[in-house]
Amino acid sequence: MELSGARALVVGASGVLGSGIARALVERGATVSVAGRDAGRLAPVAQACGTEPLVLDLVDTDACREVVGAAAAAMGGLDLLVVATGVAGFGPATDADPAVVEELFAVNTLGPMALVRAAAGRFEDGGTVAVLSAILAELPTNQMAEYSATKAALSTWLTVLRRENRRAFTVLDVRPPHLDTGLAERSLAGEPPKLPAPLPGQVVVDTVVEALASGATEVVWDAGAKELVAR
């Protein structure tokens, strides 16, 4: 897609990846609205993007729909939705707290779905949705059963969404490996198992922006080449 002049909403812009993507889109000439859960961390990103911050909790699917509407109204339309949100949870599958499992699915799966549904109806002439799932969608990991399941469910949904809407809009599924964003240290429950060396979050930001510009439908980790690739 042409990023210059595009009207984009980045949800999760109070986080490392979302804020980086929002700033990079502005540098490419896009008009960007930003939304996130942490109002304090979101404020400077909104200022840098020249917009008002939109605060929401993805657990509230009505709020997801309202934020998309507010961003589209502020920008006079919507061409791009980026969802860079997520929470982690760790521990044996049989020990999982039902409340934690419910929040994992609400934030990692149901919230992004609600955002995409709201955005899809606002694309006037094509459009793009870019959603960060994770490598866990392909490689479910011990001590991360529920976390893996939320990402696998989201990635599967995006695959079907792409097939159903291949003539209407582009769907980009971003499945990065473990990153240096600190997500594992902010988990809802448990301690992370031994993880591989983290990939710098800036690599994801750069790859996602290039993937958007090229019209790619996936960003994945190439284990052989040990690099993140768009295809």
Cβ(34)–Cβ(45) under 8 Å?
yes
- Count the neighbouring beta carbons within 10 Å of the beta carbon of residue 102: 13
Nearest residue to 196 via CA among 123, 113, 135:
135
Q: By mean pLDDT, which of 11-15, 56-60, 181-185 is the weakest? A: 181-185
Q: Residue 4, class by beta-carbon neighbours within 10 Å (0-12 exposed, 13-18 middle, 19+ buried)? A: exposed
DSSP for residue 29:
T
Q: Which residues pair with 33 in a beta bridge?
A: 9
pLDDT confidence of residue 61:
94
Tell me how far CA of residue 160 lies from CA of 57, 65, 207, in angstroms. 25, 21, 23
Summarised one tens digit per residue, pLDDT across range 31-76 is: 999 999 999 999 999 999 999 999 999 999 999 999 999 999 999 9
With cut-offs at 50, 70 and 90, classify the pLDDT of residue 94.
very high
Statement: the pTM of the whole predicted model exceeds 0.85 = yes
Going by C-alpha positions, the residue among 61, 148, 153 that lies closest to residue 96 is: 148
Catalytic residue among 90, 123, 147, 157: 147
Domains along the chain with CATH numbers: 7-230 (3.40.50.720)
The confidence score (pLDDT) of residue 125 equals: 85
Across the chain, what does the average pLDDT equal? 97
Residue 87, Cα to own-chain centre: how many angstroms? Answer: 11
25 catalytic per annotation:
no
pLDDT digits (tens, 9 = 90+) for 106-133: 999 999 999 999 999 999 889 999 999 9
Can you tell me the distance from the alpha carbon of 88 to that of 103, in angstroms, rounded to the nearest whole number?
Answer: 10
185-197 pLDDT, tens digit per residue, is 899 999 999 999 9
pLDDT recorded at residue 153:
98
- 224 burial level (CB within 10 Å; 0-12, 13-18, 19+): exposed
